[in-house]
Structure 1
Amino acid sequence: MSDLEIRPAALTDIPAVVAMLADDPLGAQRESPDDLTPYRVAFQRLADDPNQHLVVAVRADVVMGTLQLTVIPGLSRRGSTRSIIEGVRIHADERGSGLGTRLIQWAVDESRRQDCQLVQLTSDATRTDAHRFYERLGFIASHVGFKLAL
């Protein structure tokens, strides 16, 4: 894995990132890799926000993984800053290679660097393999999440 680079995503990485977001049963229902316009707009919003970190893992100029780390200052927990890991995706050819662990470790390390006291993430209830992966990395299923589509 020494030939792997984790770096901020560039606009040119968006097609590969969106393809990974769409490459599973859930993503196939909610992503549209054939129209990248909304993703480019969203990318610019992320790039303009210093609390957003969209990164890619690249090997030999090929995007092999991605995640988004959001840093959130807050009042709870004595004014703690927390981070949220979202959109973790690994290219199908790389699953099981340790790349996911490397990406999550990058996010945890960056969270520490940003003085976060808590790292959290959510995962769809149907992604049981992902749940086992996160638990192996020390994450604890501690909360019940709720969503409201707008």
Structure 2
Amino acid sequence: MIREAESKDCLIIENLYRILAPHSKNIKVLPERIEQIRNDSNNYLFVYEDEGIVKGSIFMTFCLDPAYQFRPYTVVEYVIVGEEFRGNGIGKKLLEQVEQQSITNGSTRIILLSSASRTEAHNFFTRNGYNGTISKGFKKYIPITEPNQ
């Protein structure tokens, strides 16, 4: 079953994110942030749960788009299924959830970001209708510092 993440899911989601970014020392999923996402109609953090076990997660956000009247576009990040649960259609179902939510909200497109080294994931995304040759994504990381108090 796919559902919106709850604050109680923060540790399992954090562990899934560590699979995505094993060298990052800054990953910290806070229950308060999950609740903030739940209360924001433009952001969704979904988990796939089966028999009480969270097996995968996906995050999507609707972005305001100045080019297409009042229609947003969707950005997807943090697509992850636990390594032991892959190959069972969980990732496909998570992507379908995002697509359905995007259609419902009138999105003009879905932009999906993936680390350049995750070639197996790229093949999975291609099999699910995403084209990795249309655009080239760029990221610039900003160092995480403590906020001024």
TM-score range, shorter chain: 0.7 to 0.9
Which residue pairs with 1:93 in the alignment?
A: 84
How many residues of Structure 1 are paired with residues of Structure 2 in the alignment? 141
Q: Aligned with 1:125: secondary structure?
A: coil
Measured in 2, the distance between the counterparts of 1:108 and 1:10 equals 21
- The one-letter amino acid paired with 1:109 is Q
Q: Mark the runs of 5 or more structure 1 residues left unpaired by the alignment.
A: none
Q: Does residue 14 of structure 1 match 2:14?
A: no
TM-score normalized with structure 2 length: 0.86
Measured in 2, the distance between the counterparts of 1:45 and 1:9 equals 11
Measured in 2, the distance between the counterparts of 1:111 and 1:102 equals 14
8 Å CA contact 2:72, 2:108 repeated in 1: yes
Alignment of 1:1-150 (within 5 A): 5-24=1-20, 27-30=21-24, 36=28, 39-141=30-132, 142-150=134-142
Distance 1:31 1:10, change over 3 A: farther
* Aligned-pair CA distance for 1:143: 1.1
Q: Deviations over 1:4-24 (max 9, x none)?
A: x10010000111111111125
8 Å CA contact 1:85, 1:121 repeated in 2: yes
Measured in 1, the distance between the counterparts of 2:36 and 2:129 equals 31
Q: Once superposed, what is the RMSD of the aligned Cα atoms?
A: 1.8
Q: Mark the runs of 5 or more structure 2 residues left unpaired by the alignment.
A: 143-149
Identity over the aligned pairs, expressed in percent? 23
Measured in 2, the distance between the counterparts of 1:15 and 1:7 equals 16
Q: Deviations over 1:17-59 (max 9, x none)?
A: 11111125xx1211567xx5x5334324323321010011000
